Structure 1
Amino acid sequence: MRSTFRAPCRALASFALLSIAIGQALAAESSPCPERDASCLDTIQVTATKRPESTLHVPAATTIVGGERLRETAPQTPMDALHGEVGTFVQQTTPGQGVIIVRGLKGSEVLHLVDGFRLNNSIFRNAPNQYIALVDGQSLDRIEVVRGPSSTLYGGDAMGGVVQMLTPEVRFDGQDWQWNGRLRAIAASADDSLIGRAQIAGGREGMGFSLGVTSQEVNDLRSGDGRERAFTGFTQRSADFRWQFDVAPGHELMFALQYSEQPRTPRHDALVPGFGQVNPENATFFFEPQARRFAQLRWRIDKANALFDSGELHLGRQIVVDDRRLRDFGTVNEDRERNRATTSGVSGQFGKDVGERHHVSYGFEFYRDEVESSKTRRNISTGATSVRAPRFPDGSRMDGWAVYAADDWKVGKFDFNYGARYSRYDIEVPGSGSVPGVSLSPDDLTGNLGIAYVLSEDTRLVMNIGRGFRAPNIFDLGVFGPRPGNRFSSPNPNLTPEYVTSIDAGVKFGGERLSGEVIAFRMNYRDKITSVLTGNTVGTALEVQNRNVARLQLWGVEAGARYRLPSPDMELYATATWTRGEEDVDTGGTMPADRIPPLYGKVGARWQVRESLGVETYVLYASEQDRLSSRDRIDPRINPNGTGGWGTVNARVSWKASDRFQLALRAENLGDKHYREHGSGLDEPGRNFILTADYSF
């Protein structure tokens, strides 16, 4: 089956590339695109430049999913909205979670932001993790992804790119008090899930507030082979509040609160036997609970002065709860972990036009991350308890501060974006028993250069060169204990920072009828922190340790296109992303890099039959991936013979019954195909019907 699947995948990729090439000849005058279209190149972004600017006009490679598209996808987690989009591969280890792989990098190698505040903390793994799902996907207004190192504006962790999740602004016109709101219900058949969302907003010109709550109840999943997958249900509760008001002309304050909790989510891949396993690794493994609490204060200034034309100051505090209850298979000892990462941060960003050709951006940031961690063990037969070594060294702290400056310089048909950033980290990890403490203060000067050349009003040649830097965090330095795949992690106090250099180049075009992009990239990653086998065992488990032993080469092509027919009101679109990676490890020679996605993407058509009725059909696809690293081959989540290619046929019908009430029915995986995304820990849903009802008032 795998060999026969290569041809259609290559055909789909060829279609995407061919449509982009044809677009050079067909592109017409520039005009704004609908916000629902993630492939559209003439939408407005804020992440790549920290100011509103057309994605067509910035050199950086970006993927935007707007509010309407988010509402259409009705995601369980924010990452669900990025399936098949350009340069964003979705990996899911267990239910209720998800992570985006950007240019072969993931976890702490990609910076995740919520309304400008770092979601990444000092216990973020440089591997798939569960924390992104603690952002309520139903509360978001848009997701912006900047692909490639964004070292000037964002610094550490932005090695592969930046994923920013943005919630709606609350603004009203007129002096009279106004109200609006929305009720939403989403029901899906493959997991008998139900998502409910209620939100209300009120205000007048210069003042407004919003309040929203979301509830998710997800049951065990049915995959394409007709089996019900145990340990795939979860519950999540979320709430958000925002208050914005003008304190003076040109000065706005915003105060926001966000809360999300999964009370008891199973670790599916640890509770069912994986590839190469007869028994599961654990008899009990629950994230109990996972939670995120976030508060933010923003002061926005849109009144020009001698220092800046506009500016923002952010003050925020985030607490991520990562508590666990687990028991190994075949033992009566149950462990309960209590882990907290508290992040406090302040940042400022400012912009000023200097003449007609320069826009200068500059800013600063400071973050402090503090870790609390403890573990107790209980014998479930006798009830006896004891204190055990925690997952992370309790009392660890990581401070990071930085200053940066960047310039957007337009010269004739050229647009240069360049800048530099100085970053410093102070890391303190207390010693425990025979394990020594760690005190590190790494710093570095990083920067990037982006160039856009105007071929025509709606076509740009682009190129970006960047250098990134990531200091080891608390997870890298201090994590120890059992790991998936019968491994035991020992701490390493001698880690040093990682570095990446990157270059990409391609073409962007955005017109009324056709828009798209083709971007080729290459990245050289050195001193990469990698988990390696030490050759020792701890009990029956293989001992592993994080070490700066890897050099990673990543390269690939990202492409997307959209063509709008003038009559009927129809759009055709296609995306394709191909990535390849080679890793050179001091202890084991050269091998394929870990968890590199296969060729993947989406091909579809959207037809607005009439104002009240819309139809969409699309194919999601991925080729086989049998280029596995030695770590991939022993990972029970990955078939050691490789992950087979797949394709699913999907459709969506939307009906606007009135100005206030809308219904949509989406049918996923109509062929009921049994498949798994490469690197994921559970199979994907079988045939799945999703009904969405929205009522606005």
Structure 2
Amino acid sequence: MKEQPLQFYYHWLNTFVLLFIINTSQAQQKVTVLDNDDIPLIGVYVNYNGTALTTDLEGKFQIAASISDSINVSLEFVGFKDLTINIGEIRAADYIIRMQQDAQLIEDIIIVGRTNQRTIDFTNKIDRITAEKIYNSTAQSSADVIELSGGAFVQKSQMGGGSPSLRGFEANKILLVVDGVRMNNAIYRNGHLQNAITIDPSILKQVEIIYGAGSLLYGSEALGGVIHFRTKSPLLNFDSFANKKESINSFIRYGSANNEKKVHLDHSISTKKFGVVTSLTFSDFDDLRIGNKRRQEYPDFGKRLQYVQIIDGKDVIVDNSNPNIQVGTGYSQYDFLQKWVVKFSSKFQTSLNIQYSNSSNIPRYDNLSEYRNGQLRFAEWYYGPQERLLIAPTFTYRNRSVLFDKITATASFQQIKEDRISRVLNDIYEENQNEKVNVYGLTIDLNKDINKHQKITYGFDFHYNKVNSSAFSIKNPYSSNSETVNNILSRYPSGGSTLSNYGLFVQHNLQNKDSSFIWVAGLRWTNQIVNLSYDSNDPFVWPTYFYEGIQNKNSALVGITGFNIIKDRFTFKLSTGNSFRSPNVDDLAKIRVNGDEITIPNSDLKSEKVWNNDFTINYKTRNFSFGLTGYYTILSDAIIRSSFNLPNGSSQFISRTDTLLVTGNINAASGNIKGFSAEVAFNITNNIKGGSQINFQQGESKDEDGNISPLAHIPPTFGNAYINCDYKIFQVSLLWKYNAWKRIEDFGGSVDNPDLATIDGSPSWHTFNINSLFKIQRNVDLGLSLNNIFDIHYRPFSSGLSAPGRHVVFSIRYKS
């Protein structure tokens, strides 16, 4: 009888304890730790109030619901800045903590390149431009974004463009890539290439610039390096407490230099197995105002004194009321992107990438401002809408097997449209040249870890280009009696052109346990075939074999080897290897008028080749880093424009309005480029950082007769220095940019546009710029910048467009 009360009390005691435990467990609150891209961070070390733990597979840890707001929580994670935050701030942020990457620590594990390698697996120098840096910079186009690297130079013939140069290689001698798909096509030209603007800078996640010979992984054209645009992708939902994840990023911006009006919106939504991101951007630019303060010896350099207006169907030369307004530079553009990701299983994932860009007509300012015989040469010269379409599905499969651990296949279709419309002053004929290029591509990349110290990457790529080129004139285009006349040559063969290339590559990596020593070696073989066909209705009589069809074949075997050594705070990189560029349709068959010259087809061209040698040394501590890269590149079989003859033996081409000297592309030059780049970065305090970069290069060319002359496309010494202040609610940066002199005797011929410089060459210049960003609310920030503070007039080397004068940029952004 006495045992029943004991059992009764024991039963209720157990019940009370159980209820206490349940109640305690329910009084716990989960906290999520994310990076800047809202990806959960797994394994973050968390310490608070004497408790030490790590975040779980969903990036979460628990705190007691009743814990005081004043308790501090410390978080540490490799590659991220240490963070201390109190419980009150965590609650105010809806129990979400975002950790910031530490650029000094995370650099070695950033993923870049075609095959998503770690930066330490590259023996080349690499620059990386982040989305946040792009936004803070107020770059108007992706060409402007490239300049942010500090190591790339950008030439501009018009405001709607920008031709990047890497180590003295420009246009079709460097490779542009977007999301692993090569942008270079059969008509990428040798002079100055303006196609980078068809990439929307507002949706870029990062831009990777890989310097030096890059043919191993990428094939033809990567002589000077690779510029890889990587757009944002949808991030699958890792939160087990939410069915979906959604984010919005939008901004509006105004710039006073050209009345820039830009509106951007991107929206992302995802579940655990599916995600989609959609982006829209509209940009509108008026004519550009340039700096007013000029060198005394060149008081009118860059001024737009006159322009042509069409009044009642007639060309009228008008005096410009403000010569600092570059009349004939404004344009507009809109960009669309949509990416889909579907994860079928832990092993198989697929995605679809759709991009479309289109613009208004884009005036070719350097031609519109050209004078001949004392008056403006052209009444009209503009590109038609610059249209680019990309459709690219990607399939990724992970499974450890004998042949691979991961295989990635990307199929792609691109359509590019380019039109050129021009009319000489008072001419009754408006000339139209229309190009359409369809590009079909397939790349397959396979990765295999042989053991803990060795891995191989190998793959295959194929690209097929189809070029349709046509031309016609419109007689009396502003008359009611206008008519179309087929009396001019198309830019490329009128019967159509095709270019196909395919290649195989293999790369082997050997590394020790802690990756302090990495050796890389690889080989690539590529074959290319170009077919050209001319129409018998052309207004010029070609030799018979032109109508029967012309074929050009080129193949190349290239290799590269190099190593990285990390010793204490030092990193050493050394690489050597060769690269190539097979002639494309533009090299082989372009008909182009430039000044007093006309370039005509030459189907006997061979591949250009380079042998590149790089050495880099880096020193890094937590608060200081220094890097120095030297390079020496030997160029052979360079394609250059030279005096040439028509098929009838004549050295002159007579058109309706001009007598032009005949030139053609030939393999005639050899040469070399040598130079160095140096950079330093330092932390003054935890919130104030500074740094500087400088780039120097020299190049010389040797013709068949042994005559030595300056190599084209070599920019002058250029660089920058900066101070950044980054506090919790605001950021301020001061940037100094400079270019040294490029004397006229150092120009590399007509391609460097000496007629667009001063009589002495391209003058040195420097500017000061201030950028600021203020966080108004958690999701809203305000940007305000003042650029070219002292209103300096300057025109970058080989450019036909002067740079913006003093101007302000205002933006407001919402980001959830």
**1:51–1:541 distance in 2 versus 1, CA, 3 Å:** same
**1:514–1:110 distance in 2 versus 1, CA, 3 Å:** same
- Letter of the aligned partner of 2:246 in structure 1? W
Matching residue of 1:466: 577
What is the distance in 2 between the residues matched to 1:588 and 1:179? 64
**1:365–1:277 distance in 2 versus 1, CA, 3 Å:** farther
Matching residue of 2:747: 628
Matching residue of 1:551: 670
Q: Deviations over 1:8-27 (max 9, x none)?
A: xxxxxxxxxxxxxxxxxxxx
**Residue 687 (structure 2) pairs with residue 580 (structure 1):** no
Whether the aligned pair in 2 keeps the contact of 1:576 and 1:601 (CA below 8 Å) is: yes
**Residue 344 (structure 2) pairs with residue 229 (structure 1):** no
* Aligned residue-pair number: 663
The offset of 1:664, in angstroms, is 1.0
Matching residue of 2:360: 263
Matching residue of 2:459: 363
Matches within 5 A, 1:19-34: 31=79
**Residue 734 (structure 2) pairs with residue 617 (structure 1):** yes
Q: Deviations over 1:281-308 (max 9, x none)?
A: 4221111121101101001223333221
For 2:796, which of 677, 681, 689 is the aligned residue? 677
Matching residue of 1:385: 484
Matching residue of 1:304: 400
Q: Secondary structure at the residue paired with 2:400?
A: coil
The offset of 1:595, in angstroms, is 2.6
**Residue 348 (structure 2) pairs with residue 251 (structure 1):** yes
**Residue 608 (structure 2) pairs with residue 498 (structure 1):** yes
What is the distance in 2 between the residues matched to 1:317 and 1:134? 16
The offset of 1:568, in angstroms, is 4.6
For 1:279, which of 375, 379, 392 is the aligned residue? 375
What is the distance in 2 between the residues matched to 1:391 and 1:290? 17
Matching residue of 1:529: 639
The offset of 1:247, in angstroms, is 1.7
Q: Secondary structure at the residue paired with 1:476?
A: helix
- Letter of the aligned partner of 2:652 in structure 1? T
For 1:111, which of 164, 169, 175 is the aligned residue? 175
Matching residue of 2:22: none
- Letter of the aligned partner of 1:477 in structure 2? L
The offset of 1:169, in angstroms, is 1.8
The offset of 1:511, in angstroms, is 3.6
- Letter of the aligned partner of 2:697 in structure 1? T
- Letter of the aligned partner of 2:523 in structure 1? A
Matches within 5 A, 1:61-210: 61-83=125-147, 85-171=149-235, 172-174=237-239, 176-210=243-277
Matching residue of 2:722: 604
Q: Secondary structure at the residue paired with 2:742?
A: coil
TM-score for the superposition, normalised by structure 2: 0.78
Q: Deviations over 1:319-347 (max 9, x none)?
A: 11101211123421101222011111011
* Runs of 5+ consecutive residues of structure 2 not aligned to the other structure: 1-76, 82-98, 293-322, 536-540, 646-650
Whether the aligned pair in 1 keeps the contact of 2:104 and 2:622 (CA below 8 Å) is: no
What is the distance in 1 between the residues matched to 2:389 and 2:285? 22
Matching residue of 1:451: 563
Whether the aligned pair in 2 keeps the contact of 1:35 and 1:66 (CA below 8 Å) is: no
What is the distance in 2 between the residues matched to 1:118 and 1:463? 27
**Greater Rg, structure 1 or structure 2?**
2
Matching residue of 1:438: 550
Matching residue of 1:292: 388
Q: Secondary structure at the residue paired with 1:81?
A: helix
For 1:375, which of 449, 465, 471 is the aligned residue? 471
Whether the aligned pair in 2 keeps the contact of 1:460 and 1:507 (CA below 8 Å) is: yes
Matching residue of 1:7: none
**1:281–1:344 distance in 2 versus 1, CA, 3 Å:** farther
Matching residue of 2:442: 346
Q: Kindly, what percent of the aligned residue pairs are identical?
A: 22
What is the distance in 2 between the residues matched to 1:38 and 1:124? 35
For 1:415, which of 497, 514, 518 is the aligned residue? 518
Q: Deviations over 1:597-634 (max 9, x none)?
A: 111111011012x3011111010111111121232576
Whether the aligned pair in 1 keeps the contact of 2:79 and 2:101 (CA below 8 Å) is: no
Q: Secondary structure at the residue paired with 1:662?
A: strand
For 1:42, which of 81, 88, 107 is the aligned residue? 107
Q: Deviations over 1:495-527 (max 9, x none)?
A: 111111010112023442123421000111111
Whether the aligned pair in 2 keeps the contact of 1:322 and 1:340 (CA below 8 Å) is: yes
Whether the aligned pair in 1 keeps the contact of 2:172 and 2:193 (CA below 8 Å) is: no
Matching residue of 1:406: 507
For 1:538, which of 653, 661, 664 is the aligned residue? 653
**1:441–1:40 distance in 2 versus 1, CA, 3 Å:** farther
The offset of 1:38, in angstroms, is 8.8
Whether the aligned pair in 2 keeps the contact of 1:37 and 1:65 (CA below 8 Å) is: no
Q: Deviations over 1:549-569 (max 9, x none)?
A: 11121010011221123x351
Whether the aligned pair in 1 keeps the contact of 2:80 and 2:102 (CA below 8 Å) is: no
Matching residue of 1:22: none
Q: Deviations over 1:553-598 (max 9, x none)?
A: 1010011221123x35111111101111101123682111113111
Please report the RMSD computed on the Cα atoms of aligned residues, expressed in angstroms: 2.2
Matching residue of 2:30: none
Whether the aligned pair in 1 keeps the contact of 2:365 and 2:801 (CA below 8 Å) is: yes
Greater CA drift, 436-445 or 96-105: 436-445
- Letter of the aligned partner of 2:615 in structure 1? A
What is the distance in 2 between the residues matched to 1:187 and 1:537? 50
Matches within 5 A, 1:627-666: 627-631=746-750, 635-666=754-785
Whether the aligned pair in 2 keeps the contact of 1:36 and 1:69 (CA below 8 Å) is: no
* Runs of 5+ consecutive residues of structure 1 not aligned to the other structure: 1-28
Q: Deviations over 1:442-491 (max 9, x none)?
A: 111111112112222x42111111101111100001101423x2321111
What is the distance in 2 between the residues matched to 1:449 and 1:427? 30
The offset of 1:251, in angstroms, is 1.1
Matching residue of 2:317: none
Greater CA drift, 447-456 or 100-109: 447-456
Whether the aligned pair in 1 keeps the contact of 2:417 and 2:435 (CA below 8 Å) is: yes
Q: Deviations over 1:335-374 (max 9, x none)?
A: 1222011111011111111111111100000000000110
What is the distance in 2 between the residues matched to 1:633 and 1:343? 30
Q: Secondary structure at the residue paired with 1:248?
A: coil
Q: Deviations over 1:376-415 (max 9, x none)?
A: 1111165232223211114200001001000111158531
Whether the aligned pair in 1 keeps the contact of 2:641 and 2:665 (CA below 8 Å) is: yes
**1:321–1:510 distance in 2 versus 1, CA, 3 Å:** farther
Q: Secondary structure at the residue paired with 1:289?
A: coil
**1:481–1:506 distance in 2 versus 1, CA, 3 Å:** closer
Q: Secondary structure at the residue paired with 1:636?
A: helix
Q: Secondary structure at the residue paired with 1:42?
A: helix
- Letter of the aligned partner of 1:430 in structure 2? S
Greater CA drift, 510-519 or 189-198: 510-519
Whether the aligned pair in 2 keeps the contact of 1:41 and 1:509 (CA below 8 Å) is: no
**1:670–1:44 distance in 2 versus 1, CA, 3 Å:** farther
The offset of 1:656, in angstroms, is 0.7
Matching residue of 2:624: 514
Q: Which has the higher contact order (CA 8 A, sep 6+)?
A: 1
Q: Secondary structure at the residue paired with 1:416?
A: strand
The offset of 1:205, in angstroms, is 1.4
- Letter of the aligned partner of 2:736 in structure 1? V
The offset of 1:36, in angstroms, is 9.2
**Residue 339 (structure 2) pairs with residue 238 (structure 1):** no
